[in-house]
């Protein structure tokens, strides 16, 4: 899941800025009492840069859209070329913004300058040759992932979408292992390219004044870079006891189903058996780990299919949720221009993403929708990006973004938490709301998706930060990956992995260079947001049964935060909705308390841990 936008801080064109000395020119001679730049110079620089980029971002966004929805040599060439130009210009602007570090300016202007300096993801160096190579590598990695297939033989190939669907439903351990290994063949050729990319991008980060890309990424959260991982550890510590209890139960049930020779009860869980290509969410194995006592858990997938939902109807229903909160309907162009299903005649990126192509009203999603309850939730997630994008589109260009990147990911998931039986009954997908005795089953199903994901959401960037900081070399990439997966998730590779493998590259966000900590933050924030909105909506029942569907008061409270965009530190945006400026995972503990009590009962005679 991904949000895509194009703005000054991520893109730029090679063009001169008026009213500001380019970074490449030698500084003018100054005296101690005459600074080289003034606050007026800084303001002129920022305004000129925003005007320039506002004109240039649409063709760049369209080139990226064309490549994502039609992967071929032509679209790859055009996208790589424009991406290089834009990345170079963004890098130039970031370096020029850094020249104002010692100029006294007001808080608003300082924030804009800092956003310009820190918002690059893989900054290109000044060297044209290296910059061109960085763009080429990025395009190649994108293409390798998008076109990736596992082939048993020359004429027998299967893509990621079909393999993922099979892994969600098959209980054949041999087939699951075959697909798990097969998809990881796709990423092996990425390894050397990725290592080269890190070296080049680190040069670009150094030119911006950062030690490396790791420090750059960790500097984007309105706090010192070294403080950010400490904050993540604090939040993880709040959730870990619940995760450990869930892990213990799932491992025991899988051991009972597959045999303890395949799932040892004193080791991490083999990654291919958890119903997901990356073992990042476990909801697809609910049938193997559900309570023994009969529980009514709504079968959303079955209901969607029984009621003849297609891709468009699923998206329309998700839109209606936002409409019930008082948000305007999506523009007609959304329905004309989005990709809802996988075309039969070309390669595309099926990974779900939300786009605002003109940074105003050209909203789109890109998906290869399957008719499942999981995809129903994903659609709500992606539309959450779109409604957030539209809410802040009147802000200055540099403020058209998420308070922090976790906020953008959390909004749609917050709405999805309201996909409760109460909501499903209101829209006719179920006939009756199960009574509270069934809540453990529903909470378990939710935890298999959300709580199981949290340590994965944390460890992906733990791996990248170490790689980008040069703490490990390419020969250790895969070893570090599995060390972290075992440490945080208690998940292990089902077979020995060769040092030449590049298993991180089998996850879209790694070759695509999409920071991943945003998803960890989103899984914390969405429960905070949900509780705050349920309070506004006046729902006094258990938090896991609350739905804000139909509450315009909740919609107004949500929009008040969304329309701030990136104009203030995320702590202020958080306080606008929740009344506190601290992220807090205790809401998760409260939400799942009935499940934790049940898990502890199930685990009382089991060996837990790994």
The DSSP-derived string for 173-210 is HHHHHHHHHHHTTTTTTHHHHHHHHHHHHHHHHHHTT-
Same domain, 142 and 275: yes
270 and 152 share one domain: yes
541 CB neighbour count, 10 Å cutoff = 12
Q: Is residue 575 part of a domain?
A: no
243 known ligand binder: no
Question: Residues 91, 124: contact at Cβ < 8 Å?
Answer: yes
In terms of domains, do 207 and 271 share one? yes
Helical ranges in 208-226 per DSSP H = 213-218
Shared domain check, 108 and 69: yes
190 & 110 share domain:
no
Where does 309-399 have alpha helices with state H? 311-324, 332-337, 373-391
Tell me which residue of 107, 145, 175 sits closest to 506, measured CA to CA: 145
Burial class (CB in 10 A: 0-12, 13-18, 19+), 50: middle
Let me know whether 201 and 262 are in one domain.
Answer: yes
561-to-60, 133, 411, 546, 573 alpha-carbon distances in Å? 29, 40, 11, 21, 6
- Judgement on whether residues 148 and 205 belong to the same structural domain of the protein: yes
Angle of the 73-98 helix axis to the 107-118 helix axis, nearest 10: 140
- Looking at residues 175-188, what average pLDDT do you find? 96
CB contact at 8 A, 62 and 357: yes
Do 177 and 261 belong together in one domain?
yes
> Residue 466 domain-assigned?
yes
Average pLDDT (364-383) is 92
The tally of domains found in the chain comes to 2
pLDDT at 88 over 80: no
pLDDT digits (tens, 9 = 90+) for 495-506: 999 989 999 999
- pLDDT of residue 462 exceeding 60, the answer is yes
Task: Specify whether 56 is located in the same domain as 192.
Answer: no
Which is catalytic among the residues 247, 509, 523, 530?
A: 509
Mean pLDDT over each residue of the chain, to the nearest integer: 90
* pLDDT bracket for residue 30 (50, 70, 90): very low
CB proximity list for 390: less than 8 A, separation 6 or greater: 328, 356, 361, 363
Quote the pLDDT of residue 80. 87
Q: Are 147 and 184 in contact (CB under 8 A)?
A: no
Residue 11 has pLDDT above 50, yes or no: no
Q: Is the pLDDT of residue 19 over 50?
A: no
Is there a binding annotation on residue 221? yes
Say whether 409 counts as a known binding-site residue: yes
Report the distance separating Cα 170 and Cα 151, nearest Å: 19
Does 336 map to a domain? no
Two structure tokens written together for 389: 């994008």
Q: Where on the phi/psi map is residue 15: left (φ > 0), alpha (ψ -120 to 50), or beta?
A: beta
pLDDT tens digits, residue range 478-528?
999 999 999 999 999 999 999 899 999 999 999 999 999 999 999 999 999
Residue 459: predicted pLDDT: 97
Same domain membership, residue 182 and residue 62: no
**Nearest to residue 598, comparing CAs of 260, 309, 245?**
245
Task: Name every residue whose Cβ is closer than 8 Å to that of residue 567 and which is 6 or more positions away in sequence.
Answer: 111, 392, 395, 396, 399
- Is residue 270 assigned to a domain? yes
CA proximity to 610, closest of 495, 494, 490, 496: 490
Within 8 A by CB and 6+ apart from 56, the residues are 11, 12, 13, 86
Q: What pLDDT does residue 2 have?
A: 56
Residues 6+ apart with CB under 8 A from 574: 403, 525, 528, 561, 580, 581, 582, 583
381 is in an annotated binding site: yes
Kindly state whether residue 248 falls inside one of the protein's structural domains: no
Q: Would you place residue 149 in the very low, low, confident or very high pLDDT band (cuts 50, 70, 90)?
A: very high
CB 566 within 8 A of CB 392: yes
User: For residue 607, how many other CB atoms are within 10 A of its CB?
Assistant: 11
Sign of CA dihedral 414, 420, 424, 427: negative
Are the C-beta atoms of residues 8 and 53 closer than 8 Å to each other? yes
* pLDDT tens digit sequence for 407-440: 998 998 898 899 988 999 999 999 888 888 889 9
> Is 314 part of a structural domain of the chain?
no
138 contacts 83 by C-beta, under 8 angstroms = yes
Q: Is residue 372 part of a domain?
A: no
Q: Which two tokens stand for residue 124?
A: 């290109």
Which bin fits 581, alpha (ψ -120 to 50), beta or left (φ > 0)? alpha
**Cα–Cα nearest to 483, from 467, 470, 468:** 467
Choosing from 311, 382, 408, 530, the catalytic residue is 382
Q: Look at residue 393 and tell me whether its pLDDT is greater than 60.
A: yes
Pairwise CA distance, residues 357 & 604, whole Å: 53
| pLDDT score recorded for residue 22 | 30
Q: Is the pLDDT of residue 316 over 80?
A: yes
Query: 270 or 30: whose pLDDT is higher?
Result: 270
Domain residues for the domain of 230 are: 132-241+254-280+454-514
Closest CA to 504 of 485, 478, 484, 479: 478
The answer to whether residue 162 sits within a structural domain is yes
Q: Give residue 3's pLDDT.
A: 62
Instruction: Among 514, 542, 558, give the residue marking a domain's end.
Output: 514
Residue 95 pLDDT level (bands cut at 50, 70, 90): confident
**Based on the domain organization, do 211 and 178 belong to the same domain?**
yes
Token representation of residue 107: 């808080």
Point out which residues pair with 151 in neighbouring strands: 157
Decide if 336 is catalytic. no
CA angle 599-603-604, nearest 5°? Answer: 120
Instruction: Look at residues 514, 539, 554 and tell me which one is the last residue of a structural domain.
Output: 514
**Domain match, 167 and 109 both:** no
181-213 burial, b for 16+ CB within 10 Å, e for fewer? bbbbebbbebbebbeebbebbbbbbbbbebebb
382 tagged catalytic: yes
């Amino acid at each position: 899941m991904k949000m895509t936008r194009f703005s000054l801080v991520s893109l730029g064109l090679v063009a001169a800025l008026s009213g500001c000395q380019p970074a490449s020119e030698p500084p003018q001679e100054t005296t101690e009492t005459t600074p080289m730049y003034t606050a007026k110079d800084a303001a002129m620089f920022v305004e000129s840069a925003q005007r320039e980029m506002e004109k240039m971002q649409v063709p760049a966004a369209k080139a990226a859209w064309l490549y994502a929805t039609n992967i071929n040599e032509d679209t790859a060439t055009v996208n790589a070329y424009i991406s290089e130009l834009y990345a170079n210009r963004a890098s130039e602007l970031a370096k020029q913004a850094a020249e104002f570090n010692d100029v006294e300016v007001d808080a608003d202007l300082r924030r804009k300058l800092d956003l310009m300096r820190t918002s690059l993801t893989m900054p290109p160096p000044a060297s044209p040759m290296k910059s061109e190579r960085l763009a080429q590598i990025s395009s190649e990695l994108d293409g390798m992932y998008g076109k990736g297939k596992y082939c048993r033989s020359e004429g027998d190939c299967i893509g990621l979408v079909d393999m993922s669907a099979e892994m969600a439903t098959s209980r054949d351990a041999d087939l699951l292992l075959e697909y798990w290994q097969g998809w990881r063949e796709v990423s092996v050729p990425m390894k050397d390219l990725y290592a080269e990319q890190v070296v080049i991008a680190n040069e670009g980060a150094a030119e911006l004044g950062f030690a490396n890309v790791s420090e750059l990424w960790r500097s984007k959260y309105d706090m010192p870079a070294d403080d950010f991982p400490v904050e993540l550890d604090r939040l993880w510590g709040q959730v870990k006891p619940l995760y450990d209890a869930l892990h213990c139960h799932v491992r025991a049930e899988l051991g009972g189903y597959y045999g303890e020779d395949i799932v040892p009860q004193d080791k991490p869980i083999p990654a291919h058996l958890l119903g997901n290509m990356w073992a990042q969410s476990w909801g697809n194995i609910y049938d193997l780990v559900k309570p023994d006592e009969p529980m009514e858990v709504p079968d959303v997938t079955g209901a969607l299919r029984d009621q003849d939902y297609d891709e468009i109807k699923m998206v329309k229903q998700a839109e209606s949720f936002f409409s019930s909160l008082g948000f305007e309907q999506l523009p007609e162009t959304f329905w004309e221009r989005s990709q809802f299903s996988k075309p039969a005649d070309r390669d595309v990126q099926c990974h779900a993403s939300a786009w605002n192509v003109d940074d105003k009203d050209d909203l789109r999603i890109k998906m290869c929708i399957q008719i499942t309850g999981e995809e129903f939730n994903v659609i709500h997630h992606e539309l959450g990006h779109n409604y957030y994008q539209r809410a802040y589109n009147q802000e200055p260009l540099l403020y058209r973004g998420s308070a922090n990147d976790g906020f953008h990911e959390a909004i749609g998931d917050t709405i999805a938490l309201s996909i409760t039986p109460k909501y499903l009954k209101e829209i006719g997908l179920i006939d009756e709301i199960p009574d509270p005795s069934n809540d453990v089953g529903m909470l378990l199903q939710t935890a298999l998706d959300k709580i199981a994901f949290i340590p994965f959401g944390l460890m992906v960037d733990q791996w990248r930060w170490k790689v980008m900081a040069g703490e490990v070399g390419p020969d250790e990439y895969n070893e570090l990956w599995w060390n972290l997966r075992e440490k945080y998730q208690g998940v292990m590779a089902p077979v020995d992995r060769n040092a030449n493998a590049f298993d991180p590259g089998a996850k879209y966000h790694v070759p695509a260079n999409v920071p991943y900590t945003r998803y960890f933050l989103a899984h914390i924030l969405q429960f905070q947001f949900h509780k705050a909105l349920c309070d506004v909506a006046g729902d006094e029942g258990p938090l896991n049964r609350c739905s804000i569907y139909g509450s315009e008061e909740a919609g107004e409270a949500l929009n008040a935060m969304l329309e701030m965009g990136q104009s203030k530190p995320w702590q202020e945006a958080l306080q606008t909705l929740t009344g506190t400026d601290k992220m807090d995972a205790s809401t998760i503990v409260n939400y799942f308390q009935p499940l934790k009590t049940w898990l502890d009962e199930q685990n009382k005679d089991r060996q837990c841990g790994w």
